[in-house]
């Protein structure tokens, strides 16, 4: 079975999508439609902006979404997904690719999510860190210990065996990095991000996102979409909407998602979007899987 997967925030780079815009009439049309919907020329920032401009959550999320979805749609007849999934923000791309959301509604929701998250980030200083080569249960144990002491510290992304991203308050993450290294982590690397994504500190953004999602028309997707909150496949629009809201403060269970997709018959994974991060993670989770990007 063919699985299509879509990256999240962090995969962006200056120049992303420019080749698509210049070589495909469909891509150009969709990018220009996005400029109109957003009310500013996001293509200018994507194609020729600065890293700093592109790293703003309110720009990054729609930019990665656009590159991902347009890459998929420009595949023509080669784009025949039998299952889809996306990492964090990429879940919205996966839903558009599967037909659960229109391109326009997907973009509006991603922008609403990005603006709500940016506001939450600005309200409370917070951050994230990557923990390498420490068992999942040890990472969870240290996070629980720090949380019990009054700081926010939670596992945010289960990316692949031996790679977990944690999320929380600045003091909580600083303390966690020290304890993780003492416990035997190969690295505890603070990340350059706008805030504590997939943590309770995103709760303020949940209300706004829920309103936007509930006001949007969702359709039954043409194939199962494996969602981040529990790594299971969904086709029921109401369940999909509920999971999308929950995803904002829940862990991204990417390792389990890929394992479940392989168990359900996925033999070929195509990553649509900037970078090749998901291909690397998939090969670590399931070495026998065929993972590649869009040609």
Tokens of 249: 């403060």
Query: Considering only CA atoms, which of 90, 94, 131, 130 is closest in space to residue 113?
Result: 90
CA torsion through residues 237, 32, 271, 45, sign: negative
Catalytic residue among 93, 198, 251, 286: 198
198 is a catalytic site residue: yes
Residue 61 near residue 110, CB atoms below 8 Å: yes
Task: Tell me the CA end-to-end span of the chain in Å, nearest whole number.
Answer: 19
Query: Which DSSP symbol is given to 77?
Result: G
Q: How many helices (H) and strands (E) does the chain have?
A: 13, 10
Three-class SS state of 45: helix
Given the residues 68, 88, 147, 199, the one annotated as active site: 88
Reply yes or no on whether 219 is catalytic. Answer: no
**Sequence-ordered strand ranges (E) for the chain:** 2-6, 83-86, 126-132, 153-160, 163-169, 187-190, 225-226, 233-234, 268-271, 290-293
d(CA 42, CA 84): 26
Please give the positions annotated as active site.
88, 198
């Amino acid at each position: 079975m063919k699985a299509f997967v879509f990256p999240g925030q962090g995969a962006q780079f200056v120049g992303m999508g420019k080749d698509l815009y210049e070589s495909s009439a469909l891509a150009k049309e969709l990018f220009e439609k996005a400029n109109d919907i957003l009310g500013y020329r996001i293509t200018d920032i994507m194609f020729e902006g600065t890293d700093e401009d592109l790293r703003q959550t309110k720009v990054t999320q729609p930019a990665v979404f656009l590159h991902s979805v347009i890459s998929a749609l420009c595949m023509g007849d080669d784009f025949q997904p039998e299952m889809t999934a996306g990492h964090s923000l990429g879940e919205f791309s996966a839903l558009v690719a599967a037909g659960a959301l229109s391109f326009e509604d997907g973009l509006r929701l991603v922008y609403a999510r990005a603006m709500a998250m940016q506001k939450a980030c600005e309200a409370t200083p917070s951050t994230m860190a990557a923990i390498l080569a420490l068992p999942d249960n040890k990472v969870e144990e240290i996070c629980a210990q720090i949380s019990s002491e009054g700081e926010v510290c939670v596992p945010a992304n289960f990316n692949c065996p031996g790679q977990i991203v944690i999320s929380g308050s600045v003091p909580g993450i600083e303390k966690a990095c020290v304890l993780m290294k003492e416990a035997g982590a190969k690295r505890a690397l603070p990340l350059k991000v706008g805030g504590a994504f997939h943590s309770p500190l995103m709760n303020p953004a949940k209300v706004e996102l829920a309103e936007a999602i509930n006001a949007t028309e969702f359709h039954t997707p043409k194939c199962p979409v494996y969602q981040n909150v529990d790594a299971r496949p969904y086709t029921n629009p109401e369940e999909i909407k509920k999971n999308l809201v929950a995803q904002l403060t829940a862990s991204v269970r990417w390792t389990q998602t890929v394992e479940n997709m392989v168990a359900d018959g996925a033999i070929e994974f195509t990553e649509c979007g900037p970078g090749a991060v998901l291909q690397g993670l998939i090969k670590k989770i399931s070495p026998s899987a065929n993972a590649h990007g869009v040609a």
